[in-house]
Structure formats: C-alpha cells, structure tokens
Structure 1
C-alpha cells in the first residue's frame, strides 16, 4: 500500500513537473507572439492551402522530447458587422520562416503587421472546442472546400457589437512510425497514442484508413469557436450556426464533436490562446486541416476582401541622396525607404494612378523634397490642389525662390509669353512648330491645310516682328493681327520678317474681304475663343513675363495652377500644352550651357497626355531632355486614355514607372512589365500603395511594392506665398491691358525703328 502510494505521489510529481514546465514555456510562447493580418489571394484551392500547411508543418517540426511543441502557429478568423478578417499569429523568431512559406505556398497572399490585434479584448459569451471521435481515421477531405465556404458564410451577417472568433492552433505532429498490416509489436505502440478509450485494435480496413490519413503531414491541432454578444440566446444561435458547418467533414468512423468543457472555460482558453498542457485534442493531416482555416471560397462570399496585391521586396541598391517615394511594405522590411536618385530621375518617371489612389500626396512629397534640396522645379497642376498642398508646407528658406502662377487670378497677373523666348532664326522656327503642334493636336478633328497655313504664317509673323511699342508680340496679338489689316501690314513691312511670311500675307491682302474672312474664320474662331478669356489674356498677353531661362539658371520653383474648374477642361488643356512647349523651348536653349554646369532641373506634369503635345515624338523628347539636365515626372489617371504614341513612350522610353491601383484594362497593359505581379495584384493595390519598376544606376530593377508616405501637417497658409509671389512678379491688370492695346495701336509720332503714319 505504501509502495502504491509512493508511486502515485511520484507520478503526480512527474506530471506536475511536466505540466508546470509546459505551462511556463507556453507563457513564454504567448509573450513572443506577433500578429499579421493575412490578405488572401483570389481563387485559392484546397491543394494550395494543404501545400502551405505542409510547409508550416516542416518548420514547426521539433524534437520528440520537447516539453512544448516547436512554436505553434495560430490562425484566427474574426468576424463582426464590418466583415471577416484572417489573422496569423506566431513567435517573432519564426517570422522569416512563416513569410517564406507564404511566398512559396500562397502566391499572391500578403501579410500586414497588426500589432494592435493582440491587445484587442475578446470576452466570449459562449465558446466551444472541437475534438474527433477517432485519431486514426481520415475526415472527408473531398469536402474540405465545402467546409471552408460554409464556415466563412456562417460568419455573416452580424449586427453591430457582435463578434465571432474562430481560432485554430496547430503545430507539427512529427513523423509517425510505419503502419503495419499485422497487429503492432510492443515496440511499435504508436497506435496507443492515436486510439481513444474504447477504440478497437486496428483491422485491415482501419490500417488502410490510417495510411490514407498519414499520406500527408500530420498536425497537432486545437480548434475553438467563441461568440461575443450582449445576449446569451443570440450568442448560442450564432455559435450553432457556425458549429453546424463542421459536419461537412464527418466520415465513416470519425466525426468532429464538441469537447466536454464548460463554455466559460473555452472562452478563457480562447482569450488567452491557451496551449494544451497534456494531449492535443485533434490530430489532422494537412489535407484535413485545410478546410478548417477558411481560405477556400472566400472570393465568393460577402464580408471578406480578397485579391489584395502581393508584396515584393525592394531593390538591393538604393541611393541615399535621392527622393523618397515611400516605404517598402514587404514584411520584415517595412522600415526601408524606396528611393530614386537624381541621376536616375533624369531618365524620367511615369506614374499611373486613378483619382483617390494617393497620387497627389506622392507628387507633393517629391516636389517638396526637390525644393528642400535646392533643385529647380517646374510644376503644372490642372486642378490646383497639388499646388496648395505644396505651398502649405514650403520652408521659409525656399519662399523667395517660388514663382506661383494661378491662371484664374486676374488681379496682379503673372505673365508667360509663349512666343517671346526664341533668340535666333532656328529657335523661332522651332517655337512656331511647337505652338502649332499644340493647336493642331487640340483641334485635330477640325484642322485642315488652310487652317495650318494661316496659323503657321500668323505665328511666324508674330515671332519675327515687334509691336507698335517695340515690344515682343504675344499669342494674344494673333487676333488683332488677323482682324486689323493696318496692324498686320505694319508688321509685314518690318525688315525682320522672312520674305516667305511677308509674301503669304501680301497675297492674303489681295483677296476680297469675303475670301479673306473665309480663309481666316476657322482659325480666328478658335484662337479668339481661347485668348478672349480674361485670365488667358492677362497671362499670355504680357510681352515680357517670367523668364524661364532665368528660372533654370537660378534654380527657382515655378508652380502653375491651370484652374481647370474655372477655365474649363479644353482651355486648361490648351494653356497647359502651351506652357509645356515653353518649358521645352527653354530646355533646348540649355544646349549652350556646358554639361558640367547644367544643374538637374525637375518638371512635374500632371495629366500628361492632355498637356504634352509637341511636334517631336515623346520618346525623342525624353531622350533629349536627359542630356539637357531635365528630369520629367509625368502623371496620368488612365493609360488606355492616352494616345498610342504617348503610351509607348511612357512605358518604353521612361525608365522608371510607378503604378497605384488601376482598372482592369490598364492592369492588363502594365502586368507585362510588372511581373511577377499579376492583373489582380495591380487592381488590388490599396490606397496609398504602389508598385514600382525603378531605374537604379541606369539599370531597371525588378518590381517592388511600397506604401507612400502621408504629407506632413501644413505649416502656413498657402495664399500667403501665392500673394507674395504675385507681388514680386505680377503686373497690375490695367498695365497689362494698356500694353496689349499699345502693341497694336499705330504710334502718332516717330517710334523706334518704325515711322508713324505707315499706311495699309
């Protein structure tokens, strides 16, 4: 009796040591947990899920003598009135292995760190924990997809305040001994650990069943379900709704049943993510377990989002002295900036992003970075919001470099003469080609040979002649030149006008009044409709205006708001295109500056397809711009809306490309260049997420994914700097109107090189 009592005491002591050791190690494991939200790819199969679980079985395979299985993982599905979310919890030291398994086993899936999830309270009103009636017989793996879909479907709908948590904890069960057809020998007593009390010893059919179960890796598993509501009857109803789906996997000789545990005990285990201290309640193969993790069929169910873009690591090399596009969103590397160096930016950057994706914030941060670095900057913003974001955050040290042009402001307007910056005959001819190509492109459906001849000859006359006050002529003078014969004839008589231009207008003047009007009417109507707008007239009608050559030399910052909402889309597009032609004309003039003295200058052109209308192919412009020290960042909403030539240049000649979430048609085009990202990946990018193919040291890298950074809080009123810029560079409206009239009004006395009283 004493011996028996001693044995019982000794056994209890050993069991206590084992349980105590397991409890202590389980506590350490819980303290080491990190949480990630798992975004599932679309159209996963049970085979995909089982393959991934097999990889996790391999990385959690530990020694048999370990007190606690090697770092279990926890898959939790949490559902509330907002939807269904998957979370994966594991020991922090396992991060590398788990991430590798995701990349290899679940292509297209992505992990997003969720540190707050571990601190989120969950106090289940009712709970249940699962076990099986047999550990050796396989569940119906042919119905795992039905189980997964039914499980997810049962989690919705929910009312506000109701939460369901499905918790699956699993780890490798190790490698079992071989299965023998004969009765097991004493040294092969693995059956004893698999049999429940009352199970019969294995017969031939049982051996076959066990071999089927053992075909895939085996996992030790705990499955718990908890419901948190304010009403216990409602909680029981929701629990039964989900628990009943488990019957999908019942098979001959094996069923999933509830353990005989009090509901509150299960609720506590759910909350604390308790590990079994003695035996695990379930032994499942990876094929069986694949139905319980709720991956399959998610894309067809309400309340769960699938199809998020996979994450790709950043390039190995990045330049420190560069502009930051964002931070890598690749798990384990989220603190690494994604950057683009100044030299590589001269090979240009194209950004594709629909409205609302976060494009404006990205552009604003890049512009502010360039301003802070002391670079010269030229920005054309069709709407004006981008300019306001930049002005609200510019530092005091850069305020004096700002030239802020708002096309809609009529008081103290700032001028940009698109015809006034050519310095020689070749430059004037190129300028005419540039401006003519803008009008031809805008009105291509209503433009014929006669209109082309009138426009070309008129522009050639304006760039080669001077106004009656000896000032340079502007595009605003085009209409008076057409409609006032006396003014036109005074211009053609100037010795600087080429003979071919003079001959054209002399022939025109020999026509009858009716024929003259028939010739010029198509062009006159279009140009007059454009230049008669007071905002356009006051900006483009200034003979001098802002000297972009000085802007390049002095590294100033030109911020132009086209105010599309005020001027109208077509007018803003025409104005923007003319300003881009002026930028290009000024860039070409840098050829006279030695290469070592050409400081990098960066242009940002939003809605680029509507504004980049130049006579040269865009690919040639990008190529020439690099050699002249101009780096161009173009942005557009939709590739499919861009002309084929522009699309080809943006995807072919521009060496760096960045895309945010795009529509299907654009995703099909971009997927060819952003592989291994797929069409679904490019469509599934979240707001403020992007995929980028960047040029580093002249070599285009493999794509990377990133999260763009938010703008800093505003530090000033944007109108403050805009007003200061107008006061510095603007001209009173009355003076502008007076100068426009003076250029076409014949002088009353001898003036300069021309004599008063010249007749028609």
Structure 2
C-alpha cells in the first residue's frame, strides 16, 4: 500500500516545484541586469498625410524589415550584446511620441535602418524624457510577459484587418492633467537556439506524447525530472491495476499502433502557428509600462487601460500577454529609467510579433494627439552655395545640417519672392539677409510699411558704415526729407519718368481711374519735367491757373506737348462736360494726397535731399520707414510706390555705365503689394541687367493682380513659401510638386520654408529648410571689390 501513497505524493511535489520555478521566472524580483549605458534618445516622427493608398499593414511590414536588419547586431558573446529600447510616451499636454533609445555605438546604424524603411520620417536626438518621472509621485509599474511558453505565437499584424497600434495608442491618448504613461519595449537579438523547445513540442504532439500545451510548467530541469517521475508513476499504476499484456503475438496490434496518432484539425493548426513563429528571427524582449498620475487610483486606472489594450494580441489556443506587478517599485523604476533588462521576466518574440507590438504610426491610425510631421522634409540639391553668399537658412534632412545661401553673383540679381501668412517668419528672414548685406558692404534698400523691420536693422549698422545710412522717415515733420520726383538730368528720359510716375499714382487710385484721366495726368507730368525746379505741387496749378500755364509753356520745347495745351486742353476747358469728366477728377485726386502735410513737405521741395543715383552706385544703405501707423496707410502706399518708381528709373539710367561697373543694389520690399505699380512687371524683367535685385514678400496671392502674379513667377529666380492658407497653398502647389503638396505647405512650421533656389543661373528642385534667425557675425564674408 505504501507505493500507492508514494507515487501521487511525488507527483504533487514535483508539480509544485515546477510551478514555483515558473512563477519565479515570470515575476520581477528586482535584480537589474545590463543597464543601457551612454545612450541617445531618438524622437521619431512620420508624416500624417503619407500616401493613403498604402495597405494598412505597410507600417508593420516596414518595422519587420527593419528588425530583420537590426538582428544583424547579434554578437557571438552574449556578454557584449547591445540592446535597445523602443518606446511610446504620452501625457495630457504633449500627446503621444515615439522614441528609440540606443547605445552610441550603434546609433548611426539604427538611424540608417529607420530611414531605410521610413524614408519620410524625421529623427532628432533629444534629451532623455524620463527625467520627467517624479519618483516620489504616484506611479505604478507592470511587467508584461506571455501567458504560455515563448514558442506559442501571439496574433500578428497579418491577423488584423486594421492597425493594432490603434488600440494601444488609443489607451495612451486617454490622459488628462498631469497623467503620464511610458510604454517600453527592451529588445536584444538572440541566436536561433531559442526555437528548439518549440520543435521538441511539435515532435511530441506528432508522436502523441505531449504532456501539456499549457503555461509550460514542465520546463527546464525541473520539468524533465517531473516528466520522468510522472511517466514512472503512471507505469507503476498501470502495471498494478491493468491486465497483463496479451501473450499471443497476433494480439499486439490490438493494443499498440506502429503509426503515430492522427492529428486533429486543432492540433494541425496549432503546429502550423508555432512553426510560423519559429521560422523567423527572434529577439529577447522585456515589456514594461509605467503610469504616473496625481493619485494612485488614477495611475492604476491608466495602467489597466494600457494592459487591456494588449488583449487584442491573444487567442484562446495560442498565446497572449499577461501582466505581473513588480515587487520592488523603486528598483523597478530605476531599471525602467536606465533601460535595464531585469534578470527575469523576459520573453522571446519573433520579428513579426515585435513589429506588430511596436511600429511607427500610419494614416490608418486615427488616434488623436499623436505627434506627427505635418509638413514633409526633402533632400537638398547638391552643390548648395555655402560660401560668398547671403545665408538664407539651414537644410535639415536626416540629421544632416547644411547652412546655405544665395550666391553673391548674378543669381542675386534674378530676384527673390517670399510668401507666407503673418507671423511665419518673412520679416525675420529679411532681417537676417539685410544685416548680412550691411555687414558685407553691399548697397541695400529697405522699404518697410510697418517700420519695425527698419528699426531693427538700425541695430546692425556697424560704425564704419554709419555715414552710408540714408534714413527716410516721412513722419519727421521738423526735418522733412526732400524728394522732388520731377528732377531729371537727361531730357530724353522724360517719357520713361512720366510713365513711372503715372503708374505709381494710378496704383494709388486704381479703384476710380479712367483712360482720359491718365492721358491728362501724363501730359501734366511731361510738361513739368521740362521746367527745372517744378514739383508735383504744380500739377493742379497747371490745370487751374491760365497765367501759370502760360509761364510754364514758355520753357517747354516739345511741340507735341505745346499742341496738347493750346488745342486739346483749351477745347476741354470750353466743354463743361469734359471739365467734369476729365479735369475735375484729376484735380480731386492730386489735391487729395497733396493736401497731406506729410506728403506736401516731402514732394514740394525743389531739390531732393536723397540722391538715389549716388545711393545705388556707391552702395549706400537706404532705409525707408513708411510706418502706416505714423503717416497713414494712403500716404505710406503712395510714397512707397513713388520711391519704387524712382529707384527703377535710376536703375535704368545705369545703361550709360558699363555692365561690369554696375554695383549691385539689393532692394527689400516688405508687403510689396502696397507698392506694386503697373510698371513692376517691367522692373522684374529688366532691372537685373542694371544691377538691381528685388526681394519681395507679402501674405497671400489675392493681394496681387493676376498679371503681376504671373510676372513674378515668370521672372523671379528664387521662390520660397512659408505656411499658407488653403487657397494659396493650392495656387502654389504646382511650383513645389511633386515633392510637396498643399497639405505640406499649409502645415509648415514657423520659420520653415519650401524653396526653389537660383543656383548658377538655374532654379533648383524644391527642398525644405529652416531660416536663420537674425544675423550673427560669423555669417559675414568679405565682399570682392
């Protein structure tokens, strides 16, 4: 009878030992093994508006391919084997972010493999965000392991209709206030020996000798020992209670089969599933979740939500994830922060399982608060100007920074056009460029309708260039600057000058303009240009005062002009209808702006105190502060248009100077739609030949007439856009395709641009860049004389 008591007792003892060993293996003791030292934290973002035609599985497939390559980090000596960490972090304010934490020794390799599979991703090295963890606060940590032996597979992305990341990310997004959750997956490649236990199990099932497919209690030495005890005990019991075997050889086949048992459909499916896991490379993995909140209940609730999201990977007859609370929270927290493998609690996942659990999001993941790239980056063209240029910004592509600019050559005279919403960085970019030009000795003009840019530029004037500054401030009523727009040295240029002035005034009164008014104004200006010392104030007097008109005509030599006044104008004066329709409107319009003390004090002086010719040819610094807040919008717009027409006229006068002696002059016009006269199209097409480079900026395309907008795109060599609204992004998209689309332009971050750069007379393909902040001395370069 003793044997009947001993055998069951042995079986119970051995089962208990095996169970304790398994539980001990799956729980976290607190012993730390292998902290990650000298590591870098890589923050990874991908575009949200990635190609929507891609299959929902492409992100997991990309991660699978990446992990297959990273498995090449496997070393022969496990002691020196590197590991890395794939992480998600979420809080109530900054949203969900994705990180990879790697040792410095494999940083470049890991980074290159991420780019290989996610070519449009953005990777940057950041400070370790784990410093945000408050050790004294309310936090909970849990380790995630498998419910069965490692060789049993979990569900992979091929078993899902959607992206399983959605479930995890949704649980991470349900945070508020000071809530924070960190999801950490430590990963270390392992050699192929890990599959052997699975193959032994498959062989046992096929042979009909499998003892269990359960949690794997009979594993290791204890398992083997227990298995032997069970088999011995079972044999003893069988011998005691079963009838003797048949003595007739013909009866042996009735009790024993020479063929393996026939597998059920469930067993067959089980074997195929296990084999599918064993076929692929494996990683030793440790999964941990850390939840922090204002109170313990909130921290536990958030932790349970994330753990619950992992149930989607479980199947009833295969494997799944289960959680084990830690026994020593403080030690586990240190392990978490150091990305250290605990000595216990690890599992083995193959590359498909691991890429299902962790991969970068795709457009199919609609979880709110994910930290996306909302505007793509692109590779810059080769041969960017990096010396002897005005620096524009830095290209940032795949962690490579290149400071580039617009070459101080003919490229700078092919003009530059900037467009972007208010506050995106246009004036900041101008400020940086202007300050460099001043430091480098170039001739510069700045026309600013707000005044802030000019005021800031004054701070960059070096001592040796103070005498070069010409400061035009119409709001200074005590010392008004003189600007006689009718001054002319070459009479052959009077038609050109008259046309420019008429165009400037027409721009100001475009809402009520007519051909007869333009015709009459043109003859007024042509007449006064022939008489030295006259000013714009004389226009209305010329129309109203017969004696003054006779006096002026005494100096006029042009017979066509004389004929107009003596015949046509006399006829107009005799016709009351024509007086009302033609003469009165021009009197009203001219008197309107000449009635302004500000305008009259400037345009009414017989001699100009600003020498535009000298400013351009000797490289002066012409700062025009046309602040609308000080002189009014109408006055600012009119003066600006007149100043632009004057600069254009002086540039055309350079035709009498040999081309190699025309010193470049760079004119920066902020909000240039306010000064864009009809002659602007000719300025864009002709001024390059005379050494005048235009730098233009404004906010949206509807501010410009369609013909002028076409002239800009047809003549400007360098085009850059900051963030725009939807209609303007649609209008500009053709300029930047196929590299950037409407959504990219709309979503550009502040101080970021898409640019097509003039390089050696050719416009580059579009690329992305971040503009430079205001100038620093290192940017200055010596200007060739």
In the superposition, the TM-score normalised over structure 2's length comes to 0.78
CA distance, structure 2, for counterparts of residue 364 and residue 404 of structure 1:
16
CA distance, structure 2, for counterparts of residue 425 and residue 708 of structure 1:
46
| Selected match of 2:657 from 582, 590, 593 | 593
Contact 1:144 1:291 in 2 (8 A): no
Q: Is it true that 1:65 corresponds to 2:76 in the alignment?
A: yes
Superposition pairs for residues 328-407 of structure 1, below 5 Å? 328-334=395-401, 336-343=402-409, 344-407=411-474
| Selected match of 2:542 from 473, 476, 481 | 481
Contact 2:527 2:556 in 1 (8 A): no
Closer, same or farther in 2 for the Cα pair 1:544/1:152, shift >3 Å?
A: farther
Q: Is it true that 1:621 corresponds to 2:683 in the alignment?
A: yes
Give the match's secondary structure for 1:329: strand
Equivalent residue for 1:247? 311
Asked which structure has the greater CA Rg, the reply is: 2
Equivalent residue for 1:128? 142
| Selected match of 1:692 from 727, 742, 755 | 755
Equivalent residue for 2:239? none
Closer, same or farther in 2 for the Cα pair 1:98/1:553, shift >3 Å?
A: same
Q: Deviations over 1:349-405 (max 9, x none)?
A: 111221111111110110010001000001111111111111123222222211111
Superposition pairs for residues 43-442 of structure 1, below 5 Å? 46-62=56-72, 63=74, 65-67=76-78, 69-115=81-127, 117=129, 119-121=131-133, 123=135, 125-134=139-148, 135=150, 136-139=152-155, 141=157, 142-143=159-160, 145=162, 147-156=164-173, 158-170=175-187, 183-184=202-203, 197-198=216-217, 203-213=267-277, 219-252=283-316, 253-259=318-324, 261-262=326-327, 264=329, 265-275=331-341, 280-286=346-352, 289-290=355-356, 292-293=358-359, 295-296=361-362, 300-317=366-383, 318-334=385-401, 336-343=402-409, 344-420=411-487, 422-442=488-508
Query: Structure 1 stretches of 5 or more lacking a match?
Result: 1-21, 715-760
Equivalent residue for 1:10? none
Contact 2:733 2:740 in 1 (8 A): yes
Give the match's secondary structure for 1:197: coil
Q: Deviations over 1:524-573 (max 9, x none)?
A: 22222222222222222223221110001221100112212344444432
CA distance, structure 2, for counterparts of residue 650 and residue 258 of structure 1:
64
Say which is worse superposed, 649-658 or 628-637, in terms of deviation.
649-658
CA distance, structure 1, for counterparts of residue 684 and residue 77 of structure 2:
64
Q: Is it true that 1:654 corresponds to 2:720 in the alignment?
A: no
CA distance, structure 2, for counterparts of residue 182 and residue 267 of structure 1:
37
Shift, 1:257, TM fit: 1.4
Contact 2:282 2:350 in 1 (8 A): yes
Contact 1:144 1:288 in 2 (8 A): no
Shift, 1:345, TM fit: 1.1
Equivalent residue for 1:530? 593
Q: Deviations over 1:733-754 (max 9, x none)?
A: xxxxxxxxxxxxxxxxxxxxxx
Shift, 1:120, TM fit: 4.6
Say which is worse superposed, 34-43 or 700-709, in terms of deviation.
34-43
Q: Deviations over 1:28-62 (max 9, x none)?
A: x4313243353543367642321331342133123
Q: Deviations over 1:627-683 (max 9, x none)?
A: 222221111212343322332233332121222222222323333333422322222
Aligned residues: 676
Q: Deviations over 1:676-727 (max 9, x none)?
A: 223222222211122222122223233332222323699xxxxxxxxxxxxx
Contact 2:472 2:481 in 1 (8 A): yes
Q: Is it true that 1:503 corresponds to 2:514 in the alignment?
A: no
Contact 1:393 1:713 in 2 (8 A): no
Shift, 1:326, TM fit: 1.9
In the superposition, the TM-score normalised over structure 1's length comes to 0.81
Shift, 1:444, TM fit: 3.6
Contact 1:137 1:206 in 2 (8 A): no
Q: Is it true that 1:565 corresponds to 2:629 in the alignment?
A: yes
CA distance, structure 2, for counterparts of residue 322 and residue 346 of structure 1:
12
Say which is worse superposed, 202-211 or 366-375, in terms of deviation.
202-211
CA distance, structure 1, for counterparts of residue 142 and residue 123 of structure 2:
28
Shift, 1:206, TM fit: 1.7
Contact 1:156 1:302 in 2 (8 A): yes
CA distance, structure 2, for counterparts of residue 298 and residue 392 of structure 1:
51
CA distance, structure 2, for counterparts of residue 443 and residue 174 of structure 1:
81
Say which is worse superposed, 558-567 or 371-380, in terms of deviation.
558-567
Contact 1:149 1:297 in 2 (8 A): no
Give the match's secondary structure for 2:88: strand
CA distance, structure 2, for counterparts of residue 117 and residue 40 of structure 1:
22
Contact 2:66 2:117 in 1 (8 A): no
CA distance, structure 2, for counterparts of residue 102 and residue 448 of structure 1:
64
CA distance, structure 1, for counterparts of residue 619 and residue 453 of structure 2:
20
Shift, 1:479, TM fit: 2.5
CA distance, structure 2, for counterparts of residue 221 and residue 650 of structure 1:
58
CA RMSD of aligned residues (A): 3.5
CA distance, structure 2, for counterparts of residue 499 and residue 211 of structure 1:
103
Closer, same or farther in 2 for the Cα pair 1:593/1:216, shift >3 Å?
A: farther
Closer, same or farther in 2 for the Cα pair 1:568/1:456, shift >3 Å?
A: same
CA distance, structure 2, for counterparts of residue 238 and residue 505 of structure 1:
89
Closer, same or farther in 2 for the Cα pair 1:294/1:107, shift >3 Å?
A: closer
Closer, same or farther in 2 for the Cα pair 1:196/1:346, shift >3 Å?
A: farther
CA distance, structure 2, for counterparts of residue 172 and residue 679 of structure 1:
42
CA distance, structure 2, for counterparts of residue 217 and residue 702 of structure 1:
42
CA distance, structure 2, for counterparts of residue 569 and residue 524 of structure 1:
21
CA distance, structure 1, for counterparts of residue 40 and residue 767 of structure 2:
28
Query: Structure 2 stretches of 5 or more lacking a match?
Result: 1-30, 220-262, 778-785
